[in-house]
Structure 1
Amino acid sequence: MNSLRLRILFPLWLFGFLPAMGATRIMGQPLEWFFGINGVLLGGGVFLAAYLVAGWLLKPTTAVMKGTTAVLRGVPPDAQSAEWLPADFWKLRCDINMIFAKQRQALNAAEQHACQTAQRLLNAERLLREAFTALQGLFAASDEGVLVVDAQGAIIASNSKLDDFLGKPVEEIAGRDSKRILSALIDRFEEKAVITAWIEKTSASLEGQAETPPLVSHDNRVFSLRSSPMRTDAGEVIGRIWIVKDRSEMRVLENQLRESQKMGTIGQLAGGIAHDFNNLLTAIRGNLTLAELTPASNQAGVRDKLQNANHATTRAAELVKSLLGYSRRSTGAAVRKAMNLKRLLADVQNLLKHSIDPRVTIQMRGGMDASYATGDATQIEQVMLNLCLNARDALPADKGVIEIAVENVTHRKPSKAAENNETAEFVMLVVRDNGHGISEEHRQRIFEPFFTTKSGSKGTGLGLSTAQDIVREHGGWIEFDSELGRGSEFRVFLPRLLNPEQVEEESPIDNGPAINAPVGSQTTILVVDDEAPVRSIAMNMLGFLGYRVLEASDGQQALDILLRTQEKVDAVLLDIYMPKLSGRDTFKELRAVGNDVPVVVCSGFVIDPDEFTILSQGRTPPVDIMLKPYSLDGLSKALAKAVQKPQTDARAFELSDNRAPQQPTMLVS
C-alpha cells in the first residue's frame, strides 16, 4: 500500500508545486526565491499537503481491497473498511460466498469422482488382464485350429492346433499373409477344388457363419472348415475368423449312431419280412413235395411244380437281397456314387410292402425324366425308410395310404440372405401320408435327437434326426407340411446329377433260361465251400455243364489240392466264409506263392471288389464275384469266363453282367 501511496504522492506534489512557482513569478519574485529558505518551506508544505491528500484518496481503495479480501476469504471485514463500503457490498459478499461454497462442493465431488474413476479403471484393467489371460488360455487349449484375420487380410492371431494341422508354425509358412495360410489349408485336403470354391465364396460374403461338409485330408482324417466375420457394435466388418475342426472321432460316433438307428429300422421291418419269407419257403417246400409225388410219366406236371418253386426262390432271394443291401455296414466315409433314385424308391417300396399291414396302400409316383444324384444309396434308403415308417405309425386303423414320389425340380437354394435368388436342379423325394398329422407344439422339435411322441417300444427319436443329418451331408435339406387330421408330407431335396457317367445299379437275380454249351470233360473246376449242400449243388451244376469237378471243404484242403498235388485245376469256385482258412486268406496265399489260377469268388454276403484287388498283391485279381443264390446260367457264364481268361491277364476283373467294378448287392439264400 505504501508504494501505491508514493506513486500518487509524487504527481500530487508536482501538480501542487508547479502552480506555486507560477504564482510566485506572477508576484514578481525571482526563481532563486524557490531555492532559498522560503522555497524549501513552500515545497515542504506542498509535499505534506500531497501526502495527506494521497492518504485520503487511498482510503476507499484500501477499504475495497480489504473488503474484497475479506469476502474472498469468507471472514468479516474490520471496522475501518466497513465505514468506507456500502451495505450492498456485503450482500454481494454473501452471494459470492455461496458461489464459492458450491464450487468447493463441486470440486470435492469431482475429486471424489476422479478417485472412484481411477479405482474403476484399475479394476477394469485388472479384469481385462485376467480376461485376456483366460482367452489366451482358451485360445491355446482349443481343440480346433483357429486363425484370426483382419479386414486387410493380415493374420492377427493363430493357435498351436492350427500349427499341428499344417505341420509347421503359421509364421514359417506365411508370416502375416492369410492368403498363403488358406492356400496351405487347401493343400491338406483331397477335394481341393471344392474347398477352394468354398473359401472364395465365403471370403466374399458378409453373411453369418458358414461351414463346409466333412472333408477328408491326405492322412484320411475328417475335418470341417468354419468361418464367420468379426463385426463391431455398429455392424462394420473388421476381420474374419477361420476354424478347422477335427471331426474324425465325431464321424465315428455319428456312424455308430446311424448304424444303431438303422438296426432299429431293420427290427421294425424284420417281422413282416420273416412272415413273407416263411410264406415263400412254404411255397418252395410244397412245390418240391408235389413234384416228388407227381408220377414220373407226368413230366409237364413235375416241370410246372419245379418252376413254381424256382419262382418262389427268386422272390425270396430278392427279398433278402433288399434287406441285406440296406443293412450292410459302411467302413468309414460314405460310399458316394451316382445313384438311380427311382430304382432306390422301388427297393424301399419292396421292403415296405413286406413289413406293413396289407390293408395299407403303398403308392409310388415318378416323373418321366431320369432322376440321379450323387451319394450313398444305403444312407438315402435309410432316410426314406425312416420317413415311411414314421408315416406308417401315423396312419389310421383303416384306409391308410403312403405315397412315395420322386420328381425333378428347379428350386432356390436355402439361404439366410433374403436377396439370394440363386436356383439349381434338385431331385425331390416325397413321402406323403393321410395320418393324424403333427401338432403345432411338436413341429419345431421333430428333428431334435431323441425327441419322440411314440411309446418307448415304437421309437427312439433318432429317425428324423439321423435323416436330417444324412441329407445335409449330401448337400440337401428336408421340408415338411402337416395338418392335424389330414396327414403330413415330407420332401427331401438332393442336388440332381444331370449326366451320370457311372450309376450304381442293382444286378438282377440271374434266372434266364440261356445256358452256355458244355466245354467238355477236360476242364477241371475246384469247388471250395464248407457247406456240403451248397457244395453238392455247385458240383452237380458244373457236372451237368460238362466240367470235371473237384471239391474241398475248406481253404486249407483247397491249398493242398492246388499246391501239393499233381491235379491240373483250370479254375476255382471259392467261398469266402469257411473254417480253418477263409476264402480271403486262401486267395491271398495262392497269389503270394505265384499261383495265378483263375478264381471266381462266391459268397452270400456283400463283397467289396477292391478288397480282392488289394489281396491279389499286383497279380491276377478274381475273374468274377458271384453272390448266392446263383442260377445255373449265372454259374455257367462265370466259369466260362474264368476258363477262357488268360492266366497272365492281370486286368481288373469284370462282373458277370459286364458292368464296371462296383460293390455288389446280391444276398445269401
Structure 2
Amino acid sequence: MSFPALSGKRVHVLLVDDSSDDRFLVSELSKVFAFPVEIDAVDSLEKGEAKWSSGNYDAVLLDLDLGRTCGLATLVAARRVFSDVAIVLLTGNDDDALMADCLKHGAQDFLVKGRYNGVELEKAIRFAIVRHARMTELEHKTEELDFMLDTQEIGLFVLNESNRIVHCNHAVCEIFGYKEEELLGMASLLPIPEEGTSEVLFGTASGKRKTLEVRAADSEWRGKVERLVTVIDVTARKEMERRASEGEKLETVARVCFGVAHEFNNLLAMTRTKADFLETMSSVDPVWAAHIEDLQMACERGSSLVKQLMTFYGKEEHGRHEETSVEVVSFLQSWEPYLESMVGLDNSVELVLDCEPANVRISERSLGKVLAALVSNACDAMRSGGCVRIRPLLVAPERVQRDLGNSAANYLCISIADEGCGISPENQMRIFEPFFTTKDTRAGRGLGLSVVSNLLREHGGWIEFDSEEGIGSEFRILLQRVEKTEEVERPVEAAPAETFLPARSASQELTSVLVVDDEPIIRFSVARLLEACGCEVRCAENGVQALEYLEDLSQPCDVLLTDINMPLMDGLELANRAVYLREGLRIVVMSGYGAGAVDAAWMEEKGAEFLSKPFKKDDLRAVVLRTSESTT
C-alpha cells in the first residue's frame, strides 16, 4: 500500500487520552507500524494544548471522553486547539450517528476502543493524514476560486423575506443600469428560480435588452437567512452561441452517436467474447468453427464502424500515444462505408484511389473531422443530388495557389469535388471567416470552414478551393508528406493459448484475476477465456461486491479486470479503493467508450492497462500477460 505523503517521513502523533491503559496500548501497537512514528501522550486537552504549542504534529489521536467533556463537545474543543491537523477519534461509544456528526465537524476517522489492532490503527493514521492533506488542498483551491469570483463581473444581490433588495454589488448596478441607492429597497427586478439556474430576458433602465443567467440560494446574511442571488450577463455569449448554432447541432448529434456507439460496443463485446469462448470448444467441428469465424468477422466490421463514429466525435481510441501520421489511401478505404452513409440516398460518393500509398502529417481524428465537414458541405450544395468525388494525388505545382517551388513533392493533396450549385464570387471572399455560412442556421451540419482551415494549419497544412456557380466546387486539402513513424509503444504480442502465461514452477500459484462487469455474458465469457489460459478467475457483478472480495485478504487476487461504467460504483473508483486494499494489485480497465474516456495521467499513476470493448481473446491474453509479468 503506497502513501506518497508519508514516504520517508517520521510521523509525529499527539495522543490525548485520560486512560493510562489506552495510552500504553497505543504506544505498544505503534511499535510495529510500517513507518517511523513518534507518539507524545497526554491525559487532558490542557496538556495537549501545551504540547501543541511547542511541537509540530502530523496527527492527533483524541479520546472523546475526557471526563470534563465528552462526545462531540470534546471534538469541538479539540478542533479549536488543534486547528490544522488530522484527527482520529478513539471512543468506547459505538454510536454511528455520533461518529457521523464528528466526521462532519472535522474528524478524519474514528476507532472503537477494544475493537482495533495495530494494522487498523496504522491504517487510520495513514488515511487521516492523507485525507486531511487533500481536504486542506481542496480548501485552498476553494479560497482561490472565491477570490477569482470576487474579481469577476458577476452581479450579486440579497433579498430579504419581503423579496426586497437589501444589498447589491457594483456589477449588479452595471447590469441593471441603476445606481445602488436606487436598487436598495426595490422589489426584485427578476423572476427568481426556486432551484438551479434560469435564463431571463431583461430590459435595462436605458431600454437595452439583455439575457441574464440567474441563480439563487438561501444563505445566512447578517445573522438572518436571506436569499443570495447571482446574476451573469450572458448576452454576448448567447449571441455567439446563436451564430455558432451549426457547430452546436453537430456536437449534439455527435454526442448521441457517441452514446449509441458505447452501447453498441457493449453488445459487440458480448458477442465477441461469447464467440471467442465458443471457438475454444469448436475444434472438433469445422462447420461450427466457420460459423464462429463469421460472427467474429461481423464483430470486427461493427467495431470498425463504431471507431469511425468515435473518431468523428473526437474520442477515437489511440491509447496513450496518438499517431500523428495517417496513410491516406488505407484511411479513405476504411472510411468509405461511413462516407456512403453520410451522403444519404440522394447523393453518392466516389473514391478515386490511383495514388501510391503515402503518409501525411495529421492525426486520424483531425483528418476525419476535416473530411466529414467538407463532404457534408458538398452534399448541402447538391440540392438535387449528385456525386462527391474524393481523390488523393501528388501535388501538381500548376494546380496549387501557393508557390511551393521545389518542395511540391513534400506535399499530398486530397481533392473533394462536388456537382453542386457552386459559390458566388462575393461569398468566395468570406467563406473562411468565423461563423460565416450561406446555409439556413437551423439546418447546419458541418464544421465551419474557418475551423477546418485552423485545424489544418495546426498540422502544417492548408486548404484551397475553386468554384463556379452552377458547375460545382473543388476543395483541396494539402498536407505534408512524412515517413511512416513507428509507434512509441508497441503492444506485447499475444502468446498462443498453450504458452500464454509465463512458465511457473509447481510451487508457484496461478495468476488470479478478479473480473468485474455488470453484464453476465461478458463476465462468463471472459472468465472462461482466462481459465483456458491457466488463470484462476473470480467474478463480481459490481464494485461493491468486488470490494467485499478484496477486503478478505485470504482470497487471492493478482489482477483486477474491471469495466468502467457500472451501477453503484464505477470501475475507476473501484480501482482507486482496491489499490489501497491490496498492495501490488495490477489494474486493467475496460470500456466501450475507448481509451479517451480514461485520463492518461490516472492510467500512468496506477500503472493500469486498458482494454477497449469489443476486444479479441488475443488482446485479453496480451494484457493479462503484461500484468502477470509485472507482478512477478
- TM-score under structure 2 normalisation? 0.48
- TM-score under structure 1 normalisation? 0.46
Higher relative contact order (CA 8 A, sep 6+): 2
